[in-house]
């Protein structure tokens, strides 16, 4: 007999079926036992006599007849609540021990460290399973939507070069080039700009990004996912319109119960946002108690530079009063280019931040495509000659014909956190790290063996 999914039993009244799944709950009434069986498609009640003892969450196969339940015994809370399976045979495939954490409820009262250690159990929780399924629908929708608009999905390297871009890099030693190191990408920023030089014009990927930053509720430690998107021959307005259309269509398709509070989305200058709302990521919801209201907004006209010390940014060697407000590849406003030589503090950047319900869920800009302007920005932020050399590949590429280009990178984890009303981005990620930087389910990071270290030419002095 071929396996039947639980969702398929709705159309199989009077037929014999064989189901496979987990025992969601057991109600033993002596000779008669009621078992709620769960698979990835749903839950169905199964009824049998004189069944062997079995524990909840055990994996079993059940063969039996699909019958209608008496009307007064139907369960309106289950899609299969009008039917049940008369058990003819049950086989225990894998018996489950007592679970170290309960998987009923939303899990909010359980220590997060335990939830992450036993994440494979925590993901059986209906809320968590629903979150990951919705995440899959979001990325599928994005891929299909952009592909239909002639965007090309291109993967960029994970092992790349360490460059002074802001956050701390994760570095990886090279066995073939002893003493040299790769870095995991903080974003595909330089690669996607080089793809514009290559002539692809419309690029995207669901990109993994890695930053050694302290965790927060709205920021996972270590790694995160973003929609990375870049286009050639566009102005800022083109980027904003396309992003607005994409996310409006996405909400309508995947989250139809959610309502976008205003369209087109408000556009607020950075100066106005700070003066009027006291924040550059204002919460513009009309009713902040309405969990289904989504208030998108654009924050634009950021200053290109901030006047502050950013020694961490320069890896401890900063010599300038100026640091990039966004990043060093953001183009100055065309009307303000002359101010780069006169008064850099007054230069506006073509940066745009996407804000949703008081959270920044994406950022982007029109990029510098003029090598001379790029060099000037490097000088203004105090890059040494050695630091400039780290970007020589960009300046070299710009010699061979580079189109005007720009893009945006919405963060998927944070976007989902806001839309789903979750308290932390970790509730939208399958295997997030703990606040202490551990992937608890795998006990990572771990020590390397002496042989591994010897092969890499690395000596560990101490912890």
pLDDT at 308: 66
pLDDT greater than 60 at residue 311: no
Task: Of 185-199, 256-270, 297-311, 372-386, give the lowest mean pLDDT range.
Answer: 297-311
CA–CA separation, 217 and 400 (whole Å): 44
Hunting for tokens 């607020």 — which residue is that?
A: 268
Cα Rg of the chain, angstroms: 27
The class (CATH top level) of 6-94 is mainly beta
pLDDT of residue 347: 94
Which residue in this structure is represented by tokens 């959270």? 359
Terminal C-alpha separation, the chain: 58
* Residue 178 DSSP one-character state: T
Region 197-201: what's the mean pLDDT? 98
* Crossing angle (nearest 10°) for helices 126-148 and 236-254: 130
Kindly list the distances between the CA atom of residue 396 and the CA atoms of 165, 187, 381, 399, in Å, as whole numbers in the listed order. Answer: 19, 21, 20, 5
pTM here is 0.93
The answer to whether 43 touches 80, Cβ cutoff 8 Å, is yes
Mean pLDDT of 298-324: 73
Contact 357, 393 (CB under 8 A): no
Q: For the ranges 86-90, 143-147, 186-190, 322-326, which has the lowest average pLDDT?
A: 322-326
Cis amide bond preceding 264, omega within 30: yes
Sign of CA dihedral 214, 215, 216, 218: positive
CB-count exposure of residue 103 (10 Å: 0-12, 13-18, 19+) = buried
- Residue 348 · residue 333 · CB < 8 Å: yes
For residue 136, is pLDDT > 60? yes
Q: What average pLDDT does this structure show over 346-360?
A: 97
- Omega before 401 within 30 of 0, i.e. cis: no
What is the predicted pLDDT for the residue at 314? 46
Using the Cα atoms of residue 231, residue 197, residue 390 and residue 323 in order, give the sign of their dihedral. Answer: negative
User: Which of 247, 347, 255, 349 has the alpha carbon at shortest distance from 301?
Assistant: 349
- What is the residue extent of each domain of the chain? 6-94, 116-442
Q: Helices 126-148 and 412-420: crossing angle, nearest 10°? A: 120
- The Cβ-side half-sphere exposure at 409, using a 13 Å CA radius, reads 18
pLDDT confidence bin for 327, thresholds 50/70/90: confident
For the record, the structure tokens of 401 come out as 């014909």
Residue 317 has pLDDT above 60, yes or no: no
Q: Encode burial over 347-380: b for 16+ CB neighbours within 10 A, e otherwise.
A: bbbbbbbbbbbbbbbbbbbbbbbeeeebebbbeb
- 80 with 30: CB under 8 angstroms? no
Measured distance CA(449)–CA(157) in Å, rounded: 27
H-helix or E-strand spanning residue 319: none
> How many other CB atoms are there within 10 angstroms of residue 405's CB atom?
23
The domain 116-442 belongs to what CATH superfamily? Answer: Bira Bifunctional Protein; Domain 2 (3.30.930.10)
- Given a cut of 70, is residue 309 above it in pLDDT? no
Identify the bridge partners of residue 49 per DSSP, sorted by sequence position: 32
pLDDT > 90? residue 1: no
| Band of residue 165 on the pLDDT scale cut at 50, 70, 90 | low
Q: Give 174-183 pLDDT, tens digit per residue.
A: 999 999 999 9
* CA separation, residue 387 to residues 159, 163, 294, 327, 331 (Å): 20, 8, 42, 15, 20
How crowded is residue 263: how many other Cβ atoms within 10 Å of its Cβ? 9
148 contacts 142 by C-beta, under 8 angstroms: no
DSSP state of 100: S
- Predicted confidence (pLDDT) at residue 56 exceeds the cutoff of 60: yes
Pairwise CA distance, residues 197 & 191, whole Å: 10
- pLDDT band for position 312 (50/70/90)? very low
| Mean pLDDT, residues 346-354 taken together | 96
Residue that is written with structure tokens 């090309």 in the block:
152
- Percent of the chain's residues with pLDDT above 90: 84
* pLDDT over 50 at 416, yes or no: yes
Question: For the segment 82-132, what is each residue's pLDDT rounded down to a tens digit?
Answer: 999 999 999 999 999 999 999 999 999 999 999 999 999 999 999 999 999
Check residues 268 and 328 and name the one with the higher pLDDT: 268
Q: In 10 A of CB 89, how many CB atoms?
A: 10
Gap between the Cα atoms of 368 and 362, Å rounded: 19
pLDDT, position 298: 98
Average pLDDT over residues 183-199: 96
Residue 337 has pLDDT above 50, yes or no: yes
Strands 296-300 and 267-269: parallel
pLDDT in tens, 381-411: 888 888 888 899 999 999 999 999 999 999 9
Query: Which among 218, 214, 244, 249 has a CA at the least distance from the CA of 229?
Result: 244
Mean pLDDT (the chain) is: 93
């Amino acid at each position: 007999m071929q396996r039947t999914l639980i969702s398929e039993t709705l159309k199989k009244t009077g037929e014999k079926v064989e189901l496979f799944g987990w025992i969601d709950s057991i109600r033993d009434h002596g000779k008669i036992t009621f078992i709620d069986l769960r698979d990835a498609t749903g839950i169905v009640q199964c009824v049998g006599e004189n069944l062997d003892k079995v524990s909840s969450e055990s994996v079993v196969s059940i063969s039996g007849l699909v019958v209608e339940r008496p009307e007064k015994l139907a369960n309106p809370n289950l899609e299969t609540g009008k039917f049940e399976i008369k058990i003819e045979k049950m086989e225990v495939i894998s018996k489950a021990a007592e679970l170290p954490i309960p998987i009923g409820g939303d899990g909010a009262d359980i220590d997060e460290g335990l939830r992450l250690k036993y994440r494979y159990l925590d993901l059986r929780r209906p809320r968590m399973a629903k979150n990951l399924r919705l995440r899959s629908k979001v990325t599928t929708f994005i891929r299909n939507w952009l592909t239909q608009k002639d965007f090309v999905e291109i993967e960029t390297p994970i092992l790349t070069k360490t460059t002074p871009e802001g956050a701390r890099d994760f570095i990886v030693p090279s066995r073939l080039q002893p003493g040299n190191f790769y870095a995991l990408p903080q974003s595909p920023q330089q690669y996607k700009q080089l793809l514009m030089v290559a002539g692809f014009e419309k690029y995207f990927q669901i990109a993994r990004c890695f930053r050694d930053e302290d965790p927060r509720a709205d920021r996972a430690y270590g790694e995160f996912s973003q929609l990375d998107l870049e286009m050639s021959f566009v102005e800022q307005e083109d980027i904003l319109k396309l992003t607005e259309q994409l996310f409006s269509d996405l909400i309508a398709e995947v989250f139809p119960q959610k309502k976008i509070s205003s369209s087109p989305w408000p556009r607020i200058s950075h100066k106005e946002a700070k003066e009027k709302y006291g924040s550059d990521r204002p919460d513009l919801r009309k009713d902040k108690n309405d969990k289904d209201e989504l208030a998108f907004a654009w924050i634009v006209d950021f200053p290109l530079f901030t006047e502050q010390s950013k020694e961490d940014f320069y890896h401890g060697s900063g010599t300038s009063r100026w640091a990039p407000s966004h990043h060093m590849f953001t183009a100055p406003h065309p009307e303000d280019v002359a101010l780069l030589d006169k008064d850099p503090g007054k230069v506006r950047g073509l940066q745009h931040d996407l804000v949703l319900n008081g959270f920044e869920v994406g950022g982007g800009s029109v990029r510098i495509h003029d090598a001379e302007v790029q060099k000037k920005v490097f000088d203004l932020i105090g890059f040494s000659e050695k630091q400039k050399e780290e970007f020589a590949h960009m300046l070299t590429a710009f010699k061979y014909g580079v189109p005007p280009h720009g893009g945006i990178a919405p963060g998927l984890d944070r976007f989902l956190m806001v839309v789903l009303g979750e308290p932390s981005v970790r509730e939208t990620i399958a295997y997030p790290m703990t606040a202490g930087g551990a992937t608890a389910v795998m006990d990572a990071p771990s020590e390397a063996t002496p042989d591994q270290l010897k092969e890499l030419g690395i000596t560990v002095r101490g912890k």
